[in-house]
């Protein structure tokens, strides 16, 4: 064992000889050892210092043998810090007390008089557990940064179709049922997932997202289930996966139809057993997650067992919500336009403008091949380009092959050679040309789906 492997151990025992013996045994693996004869005195240090391990005597009152005091202080410590690692010290380690010790949350126990090797091994193992929990918390924080923030664009509309969707959300959200959301690209599947989570009993925990279409096939295992150090060439440290990061909350599996058929059994096993095994590990971790998934595959393709396993589909679609395309709910266009025009007017400091009836009628008649996403981009373009007190139809790009926005200004002339702006314009043009079909746009641009998604995020698209 190397010198000072861990930072701090706190030992609580009313016997000074026990404190001295423990300190001498453990001094080579801890940079600091703090000793207390009273649990009252130790509690402040435990709260302030967050030690790697706490050694706690089971009995303090003279003649006591039932470990009641140790259990009391153990509960106090774990109430303040559920991840605390506590090793109970007892001179009366019968089977009953040993079992009760573990049931109440202690990591382990040692008996007096102890073997120094046994004490050293027990405490070192406990301290490594604490280090592992801290690393997991750090990884969970990193992964949860991918969670959806509160708020965002609401699910808007007044059509019967959207009212039906909202009714399904209202009924399904408070349950633990897994939900599958169907719909074309741009219809708002992410918004539905966010709303289900917001209205669920898991709302206080994370909504973690995985875009199955943006992850390389070779990395899906690691992204979903995590990996241990050395599991593959670039695995330089243990890393938890998205399933574990979403523990207690909701995992949103976007574009689930892109999950390769040969990887689907692993996800099915994790959902059935409610536990995950990181790549390269033989130890499983329990998980408590609710799955909301989404796909733009047609129901016919989804039910083709050459594309998607029926048993996995059965697990995912306890409740199925289908989002209709915007062309089938033209009465929602005015609501959405008002929202996005106001949103971008505030963003760009643009004046309020009238939306004439004939312009609105033409926009309602348009087929909107990119659905709500395309309407949002059209509204942003209109806010940027419109002149005068009212919007004109020409301000909205309605043809499928419409060119990207070009602004003639000193900062960005027609011969603009700025790579960032040029890249954004090319991506906008490809998206519009292919009606916001990500796969088709990515292919024309010579990018992978994942690369295109990253560039769209970079440019606010």
Q: Six-digit token pair at 398?
A: 């309605």
Specify the pLDDT at position 409: 38
The pTM score is 0.58
Indicate if the pLDDT at residue 46 is higher than 70. Answer: yes
How far is Cα 427 from Cα 189, in angstroms, rounded to an integer? 22
Residue 387 forms part of a structural domain: yes
Specify the pLDDT at position 181: 96
Indicate if the pLDDT at residue 70 is higher than 60. Answer: yes
Sheet holding 108-111, edge to edge: 30-36, 6-12, 53-57, 86-90, 108-111
Q: Which of 37, 5, 3, 31 is nearest to 18 (CA)?
A: 37
Query: Could you tell me if 174 and 68 lie in one domain?
Result: no
Specify the pLDDT at position 435: 67
263 or 438: whose pLDDT is higher? Answer: 263
102 or 10: whose pLDDT is higher? Answer: 10
Q: How confident is the model at residue 403 (pLDDT cuts 50, 70, 90)?
A: very low
Give the model confidence (pLDDT) of 285-314 as tens digits: 899 999 999 999 988 889 998 999 999 999
User: Residue 113, preceding bond cis, omega within 30 degrees?
Assistant: yes
Pairing mode of beta strands 275-276, 285-286? antiparallel
Contacts of 177 (CB under 8 A, 6+ apart): 318, 319
Give the model confidence (pLDDT) of 410-429 as tens digits: 334 445 567 777 788 888 88
Helix (H, G, I), strand (E, B) or coil at 286: strand
Specify the pLDDT at position 145: 44
Indicate if the pLDDT at residue 147 is higher than 60. Answer: no
How far is Cα 198 from Cα 209, in angstroms, rounded to an integer? 14
Q: Six-digit token pair at 321?
A: 């919500």
Give the model confidence (pLDDT) of 236-260 as tens digits: 777 888 898 899 999 999 999 989 8
Q: How confident is the model at residue 134 (pLDDT cuts 50, 70, 90)?
A: confident
Query: Could you tell me if 180 and 136 lie in one domain?
Result: no
Indicate if the pLDDT at residue 406 is higher than 50. Answer: no
Alpha helices in 325-403 (DSSP H): 333-348, 357-365, 371-385
Contacts 24+ apart (CB under 8 A), 419-424: 420/459, 423/455, 423/459, 424/459, 424/461
Specify the pLDDT at position 271: 93
C-alpha atoms less than 13 angstroms from C-alpha of 364 in its C-beta half-sphere = 16
Specify the pLDDT at position 399: 59
Q: Which of 175, 246, 153 is nearest to 207 (CA)?
A: 246
pLDDT-wise least confident of 66-75, 264-273, 284-293: 66-75
Query: Could you tell me if 363 and 391 lie in one domain?
Result: yes
Residue 177 forms part of a structural domain: yes
Q: How confident is the model at residue 3 (pLDDT cuts 50, 70, 90)?
A: very low
What average pLDDT does this structure show over 342-367?
Answer: 93
Query: Could you tell me if 294 and 352 lie in one domain?
Result: no
Name the average pLDDT for the chain: 83
Q: How confident is the model at residue 334 (pLDDT cuts 50, 70, 90)?
A: very high
How far is Cα 396 from Cα 426, in angstroms, rounded to an integer? 18
Specify the pLDDT at position 345: 94
How far is Cα 17 from Cα 257, in angstroms, rounded to an integer? 65
- Residue 8 β-bridge partners: 32
Q: How many domains does the chain have?
A: 4
Query: Could you tell me if 100 and 192 lie in one domain?
Result: no
Helix (H, G, I), strand (E, B) or coil at 449: helix
Query: Could you tell me if 295 and 332 lie in one domain?
Result: no
278 or 450: whose pLDDT is higher? Answer: 278
Query: Could you tell me if 172 and 259 lie in one domain?
Result: yes
What average pLDDT does this structure show over 63-78?
Answer: 83
Residue 238 forms part of a structural domain: yes
CATH of the domain at 22: 3.40.50.2300
What average pLDDT does this structure show over 222-238?
Answer: 78
CATH of the domain at 442: 1.10.10
Query: Could you tell me if 331 and 247 lie in one domain?
Result: no
Which domain does 32 fall in, by range? 6-144
Length of the chain: 461
Q: How confident is the model at residue 183 (pLDDT cuts 50, 70, 90)?
A: very high
Residue 155 forms part of a structural domain: no
Q: Please state whether 142 falls in left (phi above 0), alpha (psi between -120 and 50) or beta.
A: alpha
CATH of the domain at 379: 1.10.8.60
Give the model confidence (pLDDT) of 426-447 as tens digits: 888 888 777 677 777 777 787 7
Q: Six-digit token pair at 378?
A: 């059209």
């Amino acid at each position: 064992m190397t010198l000072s492997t861990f930072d701090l151990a706190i030992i609580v025992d009313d016997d000074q000889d026990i404190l001295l013996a423990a300190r001498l045994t453990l001094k080579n693996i801890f940079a600091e050892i703090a000793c207390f004869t009273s649990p009252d005195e130790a509690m402040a240090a435990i709260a302030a210092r967050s030690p790697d391990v706490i050694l706690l005597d089971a009995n303090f009152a003279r003649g006591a043998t039932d470990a009641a005091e140790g259990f009391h202080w153990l509960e106090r410590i774990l109430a303040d810090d559920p991840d605390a690692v506590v090793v109970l010290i007892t001179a009366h380690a019968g089977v009953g007390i040993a079992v009760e010790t573990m049931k109440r949350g202690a990591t382990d126990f040692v008996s007096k008089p102890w073997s120094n090797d046994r004490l050293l091994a027990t405490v070192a193992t406990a301290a490594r557990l604490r280090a592992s929990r801290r690393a997991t918390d750090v990884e969970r924080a990193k992964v949860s940064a991918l969670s959806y923030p509160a708020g965002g664009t609401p699910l808007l509309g007044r059509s019967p179709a959207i009212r039906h969707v909202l009714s399904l959300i209202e009924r399904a959200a408070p349950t633990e049922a897994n939900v599958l959301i169907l719909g074309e690209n741009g219809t708002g599947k992410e918004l539905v997932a966010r709303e289900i989570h917001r209205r669920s009993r898991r709302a206080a925990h994370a909504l973690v997202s995985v875009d199955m279409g943006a992850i390389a096939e070779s990395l899906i295992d690691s992204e979903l289930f995590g990996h241990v150090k050395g599991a593959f060439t670039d695995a330089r440290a243990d890393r938890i996966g998205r399933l574990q990061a979403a523990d207690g909350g909701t995992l949103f599996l976007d574009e689930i139809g892109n999950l390769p058929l040969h990887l689907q059994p692993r996800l099915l096993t994790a959902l059935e057993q409610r536990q995950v095994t990181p790549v390269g590990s033989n130890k499983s971790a329990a998980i408590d997650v609710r799955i909301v998934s989404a796909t733009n595959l047609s129901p016919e393709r989804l039910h083709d067992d050459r594309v998607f396993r029926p048993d996995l589909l059965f697990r995912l679609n306890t409740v199925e919500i289908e989002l209709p395309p915007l062309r089938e709910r033209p009465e929602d266009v005015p609501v959405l336009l008002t929202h996005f025009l106001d949103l971008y007017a505030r963003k760009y400091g643009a004046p309020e403008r009238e939306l004439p009836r004939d312009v609105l009628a033409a926009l309602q008649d348009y087929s909107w091949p990119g659905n709500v996403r395309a309407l949002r981009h059209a509204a942003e373009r209109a806010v940027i380009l419109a002149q005068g007190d009212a919007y004109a139809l020409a301000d909205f790009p309605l043809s499928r092959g419409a060119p990207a926005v070009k602004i003639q200004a000193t900062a960005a002339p027609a011969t603009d050679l700025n790579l960032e702006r040029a890249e954004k314009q090319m991506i906008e043009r490809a998206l519009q040309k292919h009606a916001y079909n990500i796969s088709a746009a990515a292919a024309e641009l010579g990018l992978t789906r994942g690369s295109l998604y990253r560039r769209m995020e970079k440019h606010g698209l």
